[in-house]
Amino acid sequence: MIRSYIRHGVVAVLLLASITVVAQSWQSPSIDPKIEARAQTLLRQMTLNEKLGQLSQIFWYKGAPDDRIQKGELGSYLFLTDPHEINRVQHVAVEQSRLHIPLLIGFDVIHGFRTIFPVPIAQAASWDLDLNREIQSVAAAEASSVGINWAFAPMVDIARDARWGRIVEGSGEDPYLGSQMAVARVQGFQGAVPGSANHILACAKHFAGYGAAVGGRDYDASYLSDTELQNVYLPPFHAAVDAGVACIMSAYMDLNDVPASGNRWLLHDLLRDSWRFQGFVVSDAWAVYSLEAHGMARDAEDAALRGLTAGVNMDMGSDTYLKYVPKLLDEKKVTMQQVDQAVLPLLRAKIELGLFEHPYIDESKVDAALHDPAHLTLARRAAARSAVLLRNENTQLPLSKRVSSIAVIGPLADAHQELQGSWSFGGDPKDVVTILDGVRANLGSGVAIHYAVGTTVKREDQANLDPDRLAQSAASTAPQEPDAEIAKAVAAAKASEQVILVLGELDSMSGEYASRASLTLPGKQQLLLESVAATGKPITLVLVNGRPLDITWASTHIPAILEVWFPGTQGGNAVADLLFGDANPAGKLPVTWPRNVGQEPLYYNRNLTQVHEDDPKFASYYWDEPQFPLFRFGYGLSYSSFAISDLKLSSATMESRGIDVTVEVKNTSDRNGDEVVQLYTHQRYGSASRPSRELKGFQRLNLAPGETKTVLLHLTLADLSFWSPATHQRATEASTYDVWVGDSSVATNHAQFDVTATRVQP
């Protein structure tokens, strides 16, 4: 920690001296010289206010008078989704402004636009990179059809604390999985290169460390050691940059007491100088102005100075640049060269997008693009591939379709908006196939379906923000009246052969400003669960949620548990496919699932610190909870069964060409299914302690009944590298390495190899 303070301090002193370094990196050969020349030519013609306009993005709901666009004083809108209005403002920008510069239209295309796909954590649970690429590509096609040309996604924040609401928006706890997903999603949004037809710009967010908010409370500060930052939180961003992401969004919170959106070390030294990022940085909403609230900026003017000089190209929402930079220039606190350097990447992005040539959309094509049946097919497939089967005692699942009656119970069983999850503003809840709809459609009219809501859940009822209500509920000792809705649910269960209980969270309970102190099932759902379970009927629990919940009771009392997350528009059909065996679950957890909220933050790739770790007395755990999580990272069941064996390495020593790791994977069941083969490594000794296991490769593959396939996972020296707090550099160290391959983070097939010489990574 002290080290990062010192580094930030030194960097601040070097602030002015580094301008030429920036200029050099912007002229690096990877920028197309034609695009650069066009951007430079345009820049030379621009007035100061036109330049500052390019650095300004405002929310559509605030609206801008057209004359601001005519004057060239607006570069971008966010939250404008109406195709007709987008065309109109583009016409104003292109035809009525002096330099005819089109607008960037940005939106939170997080897991779909009109077709809502499973939330990002669910997509990560598929461990299917092609699927992730395909989903973002469809989302981009839909969004671009209405004129949106920039997604505020992917969110690549590592999240290791289920209390943090935004865990739902990312890929979970692991830097390797997170990096792979980041790359696939960037490629999906952007296509082969920014500007590819039917694609849009991607923006990796929130740079950096947002997921480590103290206590999992959204917006709280993050305190990260250099080691955690370098080895855990930064890799997915670095991977996104290497994949050519057009934009980085700077985060809201303090990173080791320096606000991320005023952090020049982060936004300039690391991002531009070390990683050679050529795109543009947008602040999170109002994050520039918020530098004053942080206690970093003296006032809004000072915030503009700090944001701009730290490396924020575009101010989202707070409009500080247009207001204050002219004065800052007069006072010689910033130079025109700095302004130009901020504007250039934005001009380049618009040129790369082809916006100057094609600023308008064809409104007659929007409907077809938003209602392409292929998108619904993909949404159904994606939801099925993202589900994780957590428990299946006595192979209760898949359920037989030959039943006479089935109960579908729970506040989320017939929910529309809730299945979409947060960040689904472009979706229409009416399009959503609920789980009840899906079960009905799957079973047809021959089966009696008894539906009961069981209980209603509201976020307001759970939020103990009202002191009067708190006092009342604390004072109330009256015994609970029997609950009429629960009684109806129990009756529905008693009248049925099978019970599907759909419980979890509302969409508003996970996401931004949706952190929770507890992980229990909100409202009376636990009571509902236990009451229905008391009927003795075979129950399948379907969980709809954006984070691991406390289901420790259910994990021993309910024979079948299927985690479907917020599964999106086609969620109900996909869930029915899974429940009745038309699809076979194969998702694996991208997060460690705690038994109890008190175990958070919890993650698998931790360091061991005791020689007697296997003696619970010396293990790192709480005496009032078992040592292990409820479900491990990488865990998930299937209706098939698999055997993974014959781990082989191509060499006992890893040289520069890496090592091939192979295993034999056999489907030992009579059902076609997918397995996710996972490879973990451990460095036995070196300059610093290393995690007991780290994911370094995976592959999801399909196997017919009885089929055996050889899976090859290639391990490189770079895969083994880490940033060492002892040497302050990223290297692959000479050491002995363990490798395990299996079906979760407790993989047991083991081998070892050596790296004989330390290699520093450039």
Q: Which residues contact residue 671 at a Cβ distance below 8 angstroms, ignoring those fewer than 6 apart? A: 584, 639, 640, 705
In the beta sheet, which residues pair with residue 732? 759
Does 285 interact with ligand BGC (rule: CB under 6 A)?
Answer: yes
CB 73 to ligand BGC: min, Å: 21
638: left (phi over 0), alpha (psi -120 to 50) or beta: beta
Among 108, 302, 505, 507, binds ligand BGC (CB under 6 A): 108
284 is catalytic: yes
β-strands 659-667, 642-649 pairing: antiparallel
CB 424 to ligand BGC: min, Å: 13
Rounded distance between C-alpha atoms, residue 254 and residue 741, angstroms: 38
Which residues, numbered 493-512, are part of the site for ligand BGC (CB under 6 A)? 512
Comparing every residue's Cβ against ligand BGC, the nearest one is 152
The smaller minimum CB distance to ligand BGC, of residues 150 and 451, is found at 150
The smaller minimum CB distance to ligand BGC, of residues 152 and 680, is found at 152
> Strand locations in 32-81, DSSP E?
56-59, 76-78
Does 315 interact with ligand BGC (rule: CB under 6 A)?
Answer: no
CB 108 to ligand BGC: min, Å: 5
Which residues, numbered 511-550, are part of the site for ligand BGC (CB under 6 A)? 512
Question: How does DSSP classify residue 619?
Answer: S
β-strands 560-563, 735-742 pairing: unpaired
The smaller minimum CB distance to ligand BGC, of residues 5 and 513, is found at 513
Which run of H or of E encompasses 29?
A: none
The smaller minimum CB distance to ligand BGC, of residues 269 and 315, is found at 315
The smaller minimum CB distance to ligand BGC, of residues 252 and 680, is found at 252
Which residues, numbered 714-753, are part of the site for ligand BGC (CB under 6 A)? none
CB 167 to ligand BGC: min, Å: 14
Is the distance from CB of 346 to CB of 313 less than 8 angstroms?
yes
CB 323 to ligand BGC: min, Å: 20
CB 245 to ligand BGC: min, Å: 14
Rounded distance between C-alpha atoms, residue 306 and residue 18, angstroms: 15
Is the distance from CB of 498 to CB of 442 less than 8 angstroms?
no
| Side chain identity, residue 37 | A
Q: Which residues contact residue 328 at a Cβ distance below 8 angstroms, ignoring those fewer than 6 apart? A: 301, 304, 305, 308, 334
Among 199, 205, 348, 385, binds ligand BGC (CB under 6 A): 205
CB 286 to ligand BGC: min, Å: 8
DSSP 279-340: SEEEESTTTTTTHHHHTSSSSHHHHHHHHHHHT--BEESS-HHHHHHHHHHHTTSS-HHHHH
The footprint of ligand BGC on this chain (CB under 6 A) covers a number of residues equal to: 7
Does 50 interact with ligand BGC (rule: CB under 6 A)?
Answer: no
User: Half-sphere exposure of residue 96, counting CA atoms within 13 Å on the CB side?
Assistant: 14
The crossing angle, in degrees rounded to 10, of helices 300-310 and 320-330 is 90
Rounded distance between C-alpha atoms, residue 271 and residue 267, angstroms: 5
In the beta sheet, which residues pair with residue 172? none
CB 252 to ligand BGC: min, Å: 6
The smaller minimum CB distance to ligand BGC, of residues 108 and 254, is found at 108
Does 284 interact with ligand BGC (rule: CB under 6 A)?
Answer: yes
Closest among 642, 676, 661 to 744, alpha carbons compared: 676
Which residues, numbered 142-201, are part of the site for ligand BGC (CB under 6 A)? 152
Please tell me which residue in 157, 284, 437, 550 is annotated as part of the active site: 284
Which run of H or of E encompasses 442?
A: helix 435-443
In the beta sheet, which residues pair with residue 501? 409, 541
The smaller minimum CB distance to ligand BGC, of residues 254 and 719, is found at 254
**Sheet arrangement for strand 749-755:** 694-703, 673-683, 735-742, 749-755
Rounded distance between C-alpha atoms, residue 569 and residue 307, angstroms: 39
The smaller minimum CB distance to ligand BGC, of residues 152 and 189, is found at 152
Does 127 interact with ligand BGC (rule: CB under 6 A)?
Answer: no
The smaller minimum CB distance to ligand BGC, of residues 78 and 221, is found at 78
CB 179 to ligand BGC: min, Å: 19
Which residues, numbered 70-99, are part of the site for ligand BGC (CB under 6 A)? 78
Which positions are annotated as active-site residues?
284
Q: Applying CB under 6 A, which residues contact ligand BGC?
A: 78, 108, 152, 205, 284-285, 512
